[in-house]
A and B are shown apart, each in its own frame.
Chain A
Amino acid sequence: MIQVDRISKSFGEVQAVKEVSLVAEDGKITALLGANGAGKTTSMRMIYALIKPETGVVMVDGINSTENPVAARARMGVLPDARGLYKRLTARENMEYFGRLQGMSEADIKRRADELIQRLGMEKFADRQTDGFSQGQRVKVAIARAIIHDPQNILLDEPTNGLDVMSTRAIRAFLREEKARGKCVLFSSHVMQEVSAVCDEITVVDAGAICATGTEQELLALTQEQNLEDAFVNLVTQKSTVGGVS
């Protein structure tokens, strides 16, 4: 479970994130929905303890990630915006490298890598060097690498960005499985269909601040729109309903 309480960050003059709060619960998929440049990536970077928030706190399973970033990171598996692979290592070696950095035993790494290769459908390319992989193959390896240690919390920054239908479906199905296993899944996206298709809770951000929070139904009711896209446009243009529902 991830609890974010009023975190802010500014770069020079620009206030990128203003007092963002949200809760991502176990057994649910939570989305951070916002347009390009709304502050999603910066918020995510603070949540997964890469950069420090200027104000506010992030608690990961009760661990304060500012005070104890190493312990907090061990509880998270993160697919960041930057998802470069080591192209002279095979897909499996990429996963093993991160498994070792997570402090896993070789036996656990092997078992978990085999499981992820099978679940994400990576059998055909698991033992090839990743140089020349397709976008879809690369994202699968990056996800498998990020959650090799089977973390309780899975955070993904625009996971299906630039992927084809088949890869997108595979990743959505995988995230639903993880949710069913009681994991806390938090992802950022600007794609309405995606959020609509997989998410239980939605937090809408615009210009670095939260516009609304709730389930899709709640957001539709709040804005009196028929679909999420219209609701989103309504929320970020009018901003009359700041505060949210839940």
Chain B
Amino acid sequence: MMSQAFKVVFKKEVTENLRDKRTVMSSLVMSAVLGPLMMLGLIIMTTNMTKGKAEEQLELPVINVSGAQNLEQFLLSQGVKIVPLGDKTPEQAIKDKDHDVILEIDENYAADFNAGRVATVKLYFDGSAKGTANISVRKARSLVNAYSSSIGALRLQLRGISPNIMKAVSIQSHDQASLESKGGQMMTFLPYFLILILFSGSMYLAIDTTAGEKERKSLEPLFLNPAKRSDILAGKLAATITFGLLTLVLTMIVFKITLPFYPQKKLGLSLDLGMYKILIMLVVLMPLAVVASAIQTIIASFSKSFKEAQTYVGLLILLPMIPSLLLMFMSVKEKLWMMLVPILSQNLIINQIIRGEEPGMSAILVTIFGTLFFGVVLAWFAVRLYNKETMLFSD
């Protein structure tokens, strides 16, 4: 199986590419080192933003505030800072993102309130706004609700009725999300990130050893040696897989080193990833290196030049995004058959690990062998591509 040509080609591709600063920079340094650092930075930044907004004093413009002096007193006592709106209409002010939320007291508020009718206030906000704006809206809404029920309770008591008459059912919340699974919400993009790094780690060699070699016109002389083309290609593919794995292992090491720096307390989560869990993540990802290398080699083989190959392979990298994105927004119950689907299975298992669950041994084994089988089929196809004469020339 291991022919002389396979070993010679493998050794040469590895040595040659280690000498290339561009490869070493792009796969090893950029992906493996900067990647995890960037992820850490991103998480620290988002937690600081969310946390800050939640603790911050709510600034609330109230229109027609003189019509509801009790409510104003209540808001002030709850630490709300009532600010002037300015010249704009509330609609415009929200649109221009001057304020996250605006409260308007209805003109009949005082009359209705005094007569014991339902008094109206209007809340302006942008329901599609991203991130921390929702926190302000939630705060304003709950403040008004709290005021409303406290007044309601007072009115019932005045009439000699227990306010509890209004509460037929009371909800006691028991959130079963473990600390880890809350951390999981923040970390759902970790599998995508690791898979992406695996693809990008092997991308350069996949292109360089095929389309690149064709473009530099060294493929024809290479095939004139007394070796089977499939053996030569197998050597190239093995070198590509090696670089993918090298990048992956380095990334995992850097990720493990940066773990203690994640703002776990602030997030209220525990990212308890011991060596054992990191190793499971590594072994389920490793067979994916074969898939990533083979599929990128196939695509690059059909390209005539390095640039053309880069374009196609760049599009391919969007592929592993699909299962990752789906899982970010959908709750999926893990089933064993899903572990047969490469990329999906890695996503599921890594997500389980992040949530603090133990993935079953059968799931891990099915993932490893399912992905490996798929990878071997692709690799078998990749090493035979150049047996077709039309694939040999770029002109």
Chain A residues within 8 Å of B, Cβ to Cβ? 48-52, 70-71, 73-74, 76, 78-89, 97-98, 100-103, 142, 145-146
Contact of B216 with A84 in the complex, beta carbons under 8 Å: yes
| Contact A101 to B221, CB < 8 A, known contacts A71-B226, A73-B226, A88-B20 | no
Interface residue? B228 (CB, 8 A): yes
List A contacts of B15 (CB < 8 A).
Answer: 89
Q: Which residue of B lies closest to A85 (CB)?
A: B218
Contact of A146 with B224 in the complex, beta carbons under 8 Å: yes
Q: Which residue of B lies closest to A72 (CB)?
A: B226
Q: What 0/1 readout, one digit per residue, does chain B (14-38) give for beta carbons within 8 Å of chain A?
A: 0111011000000000000000000
Majority SS at the chain A contact face: loop
| Contact A97 to B221, CB < 8 A, known contacts A52-B389, A70-B226 | no
- Residue of A51, A81, A98 near B225 (CB, 8 A) is A98
Interface residue? B220 (CB, 8 A): yes
Rounded to whole Å, the gap between the CB of B20 and the closest CB of chain A is 6
List B contacts of A102 (CB < 8 A).
Answer: 225-226
Contact of B16 with A50 in the complex, beta carbons under 8 Å: no
Contact of A145 with B221 in the complex, beta carbons under 8 Å: yes
Report how far A216 CA is from B209 CA in the complex, Å.
Answer: 44
Q: Which residue of B lies closest to A68 (CB)?
A: B226
Interface residue? B382 (CB, 8 A): no
Contact of A82 with B226 in the complex, beta carbons under 8 Å: no
List A contacts of B216 (CB < 8 A).
Answer: 84, 87
Rounded to whole Å, the gap between the CB of B238 and the closest CB of chain A is 15
Contact of A101 with B8 in the complex, beta carbons under 8 Å: yes
Chain B residues within 8 Å of A, Cβ to Cβ? 4-5, 8-9, 12, 15-17, 19-20, 213, 216-228, 232, 389, 392
Contact of B224 with A73 in the complex, beta carbons under 8 Å: yes
Rounded to whole Å, the gap between the CB of A185 and the closest CB of chain B is 16
List B contacts of A101 (CB < 8 A).
Answer: 4-5, 8-9, 222, 225-227, 232
Contact of A100 with B220 in the complex, beta carbons under 8 Å: no
Q: Which residue of B lies closest to A49 (CB)?
A: B224
Report how far A167 CA is from B125 CA in the complex, Å.
Answer: 80
Q: Which residue of B lies closest to A80 (CB)?
A: B220
Contact of A82 with B4 in the complex, beta carbons under 8 Å: no
Report how far A52 CA is from B222 CA in the complex, Å.
Answer: 17
Rounded to whole Å, the gap between the CB of A135 and the closest CB of chain B is 13
Rounded to whole Å, the gap between the CB of A199 and the closest CB of chain B is 23
Contact of B218 with A88 in the complex, beta carbons under 8 Å: no
Q: Which residue of A lies closest to B216 (CB)?
A: A84
List of 5 A-B pairs having minimum Cβ-Cβ separation, nearest first: A84-B218, A84-B217, A82-B217, A101-B225, A74-B226
| Contact A100 to B221, CB < 8 A, known contacts A51-B392, A84-B216 | no
Contact of A78 with B12 in the complex, beta carbons under 8 Å: no
Report how far A89 CA is from B216 CA in the complex, Å.
Answer: 14
Contact of A97 with B389 in the complex, beta carbons under 8 Å: no
Contact of B16 with A86 in the complex, beta carbons under 8 Å: yes
List B contacts of A98 (CB < 8 A).
Answer: 221, 225
List B contacts of A85 (CB < 8 A).
Answer: 218
Q: Which residue of B lies closest to A71 (CB)?
A: B226
Show 28 A/B contacts (Cβ-Cβ < 8 Å), sorted by A.
Answer: A50-B220, A50-B224, A70-B227, A73-B225, A78-B221, A78-B224, A79-B221, A80-B220, A82-B217, A82-B218, A82-B221, A83-B218, A83-B221, A84-B218, A86-B12, A86-B16, A88-B17, A89-B12, A89-B15, A97-B8, A97-B12, A98-B221, A101-B9, A101-B222, A101-B226, A102-B225, A142-B221, A145-B221
Contact of A48 with B218 in the complex, beta carbons under 8 Å: no
List B contacts of A103 (CB < 8 A).
Answer: 4, 226
Contact of A80 with B221 in the complex, beta carbons under 8 Å: yes
Report how far A24 CA is from B102 CA in the complex, Å.
Answer: 94
Rounded to whole Å, the gap between the CB of A158 and the closest CB of chain B is 13
Instruction: Name 10 extra pairs, CB < 8 A, besides A83-B218, A87-B216.
Output: A50-B389, A51-B389, A70-B226, A71-B226, A78-B221, A84-B217, A86-B218, A89-B16, A101-B5, A101-B225
Report how far A78 CA is from B224 CA in the complex, Å.
Answer: 7
Report how far A50 CA is from B4 CA in the complex, Å.
Answer: 20
Rounded to whole Å, the gap between the CB of A102 and the closest CB of chain B is 6
| Contact A88 to B227, CB < 8 A, known contacts A82-B218, A82-B219 | no
